[in-house]
Amino acid sequence: MNSLGHDCSRLCRSVPECLGITSTAIPALLVVTCLAVLAMFSNISCGPPPPSPLPLPSPYVTPLPPTSTSTSVAPATSTPYVIPILTPTLHSPVTLVAPEDDACVDCGTPVTLRWSWPHGLEADECYRLRLWGAEQTPDLFSLTTTDDQFDLSTSDYPPGAYNWAVAVVNSITHEPVSKESKSLHFHIAPPPPVVRSISPAVTEKGISVTVVVSGENFTLPLTLTIGVPLSVTVVNSNTITTTIPTTLGVGKYPVVAQDFRGEGDSSAFFTVKGPPPPTVTPTLPSCHYPPPTLTGNGIVERNVTFRWDWSGVLAEDEWFAVRVGYLPDIPHSQYWAKEREYTYALCTLGGEPGDYIWEVAICRGEPTRAVCNLCAVSERQVFSFGGWRCD
């Protein structure tokens, strides 16, 4: 108990120093402090605590003096409690498997879109597949499925480029569960072009000509080759035009149209001919024969038969040339014969009534080329024709 009193005394000393209480208030404060300490220990060791002491009269309490460094403290304001919003952590993205990026698919051929995800779907999860055309265009469709593949009918979509991506979402709320996959691209290709014909189909070397190529499935990008690659203008899916250059050599060239895959079919050809050979008039040996003698003519309906006589014998390259004309013109229509008689259709001159003139010459030359080296010419005779309707 003495030790307790000692400690109490030490406490009673130290407390005023720490609190800065004046010496006039120490006796009363000391008594109160010691009584409080004794009561506390007495309560711990001896039983129920004694009744609380009466408060000291105000003359015995000296308030702490204000310090010059004290500042006024603003009353505390209440801070509202904000409930944090938890952002769910998305799983790793789905991996697209097939078709590979930039794959090309023939129009009308089904294509199977395949993907994989290592985590496996929960009961309330599904895949969301999106398909769209060019960049930044709206989705052509967005669907959900629990399968890891989808059969796409390319016949439902026009030729062109398409993009697709897959993500895992909640099957009820459609909220994302995984990050969306990286988008891949594929192309729906039109049927390969087919060339059916070209017009015109012939030109001469050194002469440029614009041609029209007819066929099917002509869509850009398209290459046309006629001996050399040519630029084309697509009029419609069945018609293209191009110009044959003057530098294209002599020859026969297939007309080949191909799409961007290098595919195409053709059944047309274009021909570049060389310049025609110069006309060479053969030099025939000169000949001098006595002239034929005209023996008469006879008209039956619209035809007239001419007859003549000649004492000589024609060589293999010699001919009788029968010449007929309508007066006052000189004879100009020429017919080649080996015999000494020839029947002429007057309708070739129009069949008009009037006077006609005729003669017979002996020529050395080629009837097919109308080359004649004149050897002799008969006298001319006139005959009359009453006319005939030739239509």
- For residue range 358-388, what is the model confidence (pLDDT) as tens digits? 999 998 887 777 777 888 999 999 988 877 6
Domain identity same for 241 and 310: no
- Its domain, for residue 357, covers 293-385
Does residue 222 share a domain with residue 178? no
**pLDDT at residue 153 tops 90:** no
Residues 172 and 221 in one domain: no
Whether residue 7 is contained in a domain is answered as yes
Residue 100 in any domain: the answer is yes
Q: Is residue 285 part of a domain?
A: no
Torsion of CA 100, 104, 106, 109, to 10 degrees: 10
Structural domain includes residue 278 = no
- What pLDDT score was predicted for residue 5? 45
Whether residue 82 is contained in a domain is answered as no
Q: What is the pTM of this model?
A: 0.39
Q: Give the whole-angstrom CA distance, residue 247 versus residue 228.
A: 10
**Whole-angstrom distance, CA of residue 32 vs CA of residue 51:** 14
Does 174 share its domain with 210? no
Kindly indicate the confidence band of residue 346, based on its pLDDT and cuts at 50, 70 and 90.
Answer: confident
C-alpha 71/C-alpha 29 separation (Å) is 28
Q: Of 156, 189, 222, which one is at a domain's C-terminal end?
A: 189
Q: Residues 365, 372: contact at Cβ < 8 Å?
A: yes
Q: What CATH number is associated with residue 214? A: 2.60.40.10
253, 269 Cβ separation under 8 angstroms: yes
| pLDDT tens-digit map of 226-240 | 999 999 999 998 999
Beta bridge partners of 306: 297, 342
In a domain, 73, yes or no: no
Same domain, 267 and 300: no
pLDDT, tens digit, 9 for 90 and up, residues 98-126: 888 888 877 777 888 999 888 888 888 89
The residue among 138, 168, 189 that closes a domain is 189
Q: DSSP per residue over 271-322, as a string?
A: EEEPPPPPP----PPP---PPPEEEEEEEETTEEEEEEE-SS---TTEEEEE
Q: Are residues 181 and 198 in the same domain?
A: no
When divided into structural domains, the chain yields a total of 4
Q: Within a domain: residue 22?
A: yes
Domain stops at, among 145, 171, 189: 189
Tokens of 167: 């993500």
pLDDT above 70 coverage of the chain, percent: 73
> Residue by residue, what is the 3-state secondary structure of 99-140?
CCCCEEEECCCCEEEEEECCCCCCCCEEEEEEEECCCCCCEE
Is residue 283 situated within a structural domain?
A: no
Give SS3 for 266: strand
Are residues 212 and 173 part of one domain? Answer: no
Note the pLDDT of residue 209.
Answer: 92
